Amino acid sequence: MDFTIWKAIILGIVQGATEFLPVSSSGHLVLFQSLFGLKEGALTFDVFLHFGTLIAIIIAFWTDIKKMLLFKKSHRHLIYMILIGIIPTGIIGISFKDLFEQFFQSVFIVGYMLLLTGVLLWTSESFAKGDRTLKEMNTIDALIIGFAQGLAIIPGISRSGSTIVAGYFRGLNRDLAARYSFLVALPVIFGATLLEVKDILEGGGGDVSLINIIAGTLAAVISGYVAIRFLLKIIREKSLKPFAYYCWFIGIIIIISQII
């Protein structure tokens, strides 16, 4: 496999940035791996890219995470909401695992799902008028956002985009919708990483060199952290509509490229 350090860095940047920007990380990775001819044999590399995004979340939200680990009273409700939120995500991921794995083989599906993500982002401002705080967040809110996160396993549907829009739909304020979206992703990404480690132990992790793994992981950490800070600023001050234009543009290009 012709897998250079520059390809590793590019994939790391793509993973880190698109994991948190509302443009679908899985969709972009399917696209870039297809362009690079990386169909199989890079499980270890994928694991470390996900590990890099975990580190990015931990760095960006260390204050919240530390208080949750210490089980501070101020963050106990947030812990409960996160635990509830990952239930539908886990059920969807386990129940439809085989179907979702088939989706990852089709670049066509990525294109169409990016168009759908664009629609979600375009309509998001219609719902972004809520002012509910964490104290007012309830079980139904967490379940709906967790369900949206579960559907985002489909490549091309943005995890951050769908969960933030779901939070808007439930009337959460902008900061809470974004904050919860990132924090509820932490156990999900961690669980997905563990499953990939299991696959490596059972079938091998491919032939990617250590230097490429390190380069890709560092790129994912840095780009992921920058993407988180950037999106939080956008959510507080502006609209998600520009991301809708991007998703539509990339989705159309992908579909046309598969037809021609």
- Chain segment 93-130, per-residue pLDDT in tens: 888 877 877 877 778 888 899 999 999 999 988 888 88
Amino acid identity for residue 129 in this structure: K
Q: How far apart (Å, rounded) are the C-alpha atoms in residues 127 and 227?
A: 23
User: Encoding tokens for residue 30?
Assistant: 């399917």
Neighbours of 30 (CB within 10 A): 21
| Across 17-26, 168-177, 247-256, least confident range | 17-26
Output 196 or 18, whichever has higher pLDDT. Answer: 18
Please give the residue range of the domain that contains residue 34. Answer: 5-259
DSSP state of 59: H
Amino acid identity for residue 157 in this structure: I
pLDDT score at 45: 76
pLDDT score at 200: 66
Judge if pTM exceeds 0.75: yes
Q: Tell me the helix, strand and coil percentages in the chain, rounded to 5.
A: 80, 0, 20
Q: How far apart (Å, rounded) are the C-alpha atoms in residues 163 and 159?
A: 6
Q: How far apart (Å, rounded) are the C-alpha atoms in residues 18 and 220?
A: 10
3-class SS at 172?
strand
CA distance to 112, 122, 173, 252, per residue, from 86 (Å): 26, 26, 21, 32
Number of domains in the chain: 1
Q: Does the pLDDT at position 152 exceed 80?
A: yes
pLDDT score at 2: 64
CA distance to 27, 64, 204, 211, per residue, from 14 (Å): 10, 26, 24, 18
Q: How far apart (Å, rounded) are the C-alpha atoms in residues 176 and 181?
A: 8
**Where does the pLDDT of residue 11 fall: very low under 50, low under 70, confident under 90, or very high at 90 and above?**
confident
DSSP state of 1: -
DSSP state of 132: B
Q: Which of 167, 126, 176, 123 is nearest to 148 (CA)?
A: 167
Q: Average model confidence (pLDDT) for the chain?
A: 87
The answer to whether the beta carbons of residues 116 and 157 sit under 8 Å apart is yes
Q: Does the pLDDT at position 41 exceed 50?
A: no
